[in-house]
Amino acid sequence: MDSFEPELDSAADSSNNQGVYIYHPPKSSKPSSDRPSKRRKVEKKDDRNNHFPFVPLLNGDEDTTSVDVRYRAYEHLWSTQEGKIQKILDDADSEILDNVSSFVRTTSPETYNGCIPAALVTVGSNVSSLSRLLRRLNDRLISSEEGGVIVLESGDAPNLKTALKNIIRAAITNTEGNDGYQSLLNDRDGPRLLGYDLDLLSDYVKKRGVTKMVVALRDSEAFDPGLLTDLLSLLSSWLDRIPFTLLLGISTSVELFEGRLPRSSVALIRGKYFEFHESSNCVDRMYETLQAEGDGVFWLGRNLTGLLFERSSDFFQSPEGFIRIVKAC
């Protein structure tokens, strides 16, 4: 235990004594020269080699060569079937794709007395089918050098300025890439324009000779009605400089969609109504292709078939969902 010894200050007055304590530290059991031992470095084993495309069988004892052989066989078999499935999807969308493409190419504001041409596409619960349509329509317009498709979702448009900025950027980068967008934004003669100024898009239209600029609102019913009203009004005022065409994805009905907008906004658009066919026939054709093709080497087993039928009876299943299940199982 530490010891304290009191001493009196000799210089202090007898009537005013002050206590002083001298501290004697205890003797250390370890010499002062000792240093804490260094921690031994432990190298972590590189477990990257343990990650395989497939999980090793035999409780993890399957050798890497066998795992790799299984994966290569799977890729070979699935690539053949995937090509057949993609052909079915293309055939299923070909009719509506041709109809929408014809509408976009043959209509203009002059066709509808100054109104914005609009294709109203009802998709029901099969939202993924609209994405395929927009992608293929965009490829057609780009390959023919007529223009392109700008896809805008409700999350991309919290306000009007952000919506315009995303429309302009998507339109330019669709063909010019990000470098082309930056060049058009920064190297323009005259005053620098802001990213939401439609003069930027007008310059791009003149430069590329664009005749069809399709603005696709994939989830149009999720847009704020006030913002959508302002957007339609603004696009309408630029029709003499930018050849806008609207494509509106609708999950419910055209009547409900129009009911959310004021009549003045509805009067700004005019066009045609399109409808996707039910995807159940498409899924049935995929299953038949996988199971009944004469040259097929890849079949679905009893357990997987039972799982697919059970899921299809419980809820709607899109063609993409069907493909994901088959590929994962």
Decide: pTM greater than 0.75.
Answer: no
Would strands 212-217 and 244-250 be described as parallel, antiparallel, or unpaired? parallel
CB 191, CB 221: distance < 8 Å: no
Mind listing the pLDDT tens digit for each residue in 252-306? 888 888 888 899 999 999 989 888 765 556 777 777 777 776 666 666 777 777 7
Question: Is a pLDDT exceeding 50 seen at residue 137?
Answer: yes
Half-sphere exposure (Cβ direction) of 319: Cα atoms closer than 13 Å: 26
Q: Does domain 94-275 have CATH number 3.40.50.300?
A: yes
Q: Please give the average per-residue pLDDT across 115-139, as a whole number.
A: 84
* pLDDT at residue 76, as a whole number: 80
Could you give the residue ranges of the DSSP H alpha helices within 275-318? 280-292, 302-314
Mapped onto helix, strand or coil, the DSSP state of residue 3 is strand
Domain ranges of the chain: 94-275, 278-329
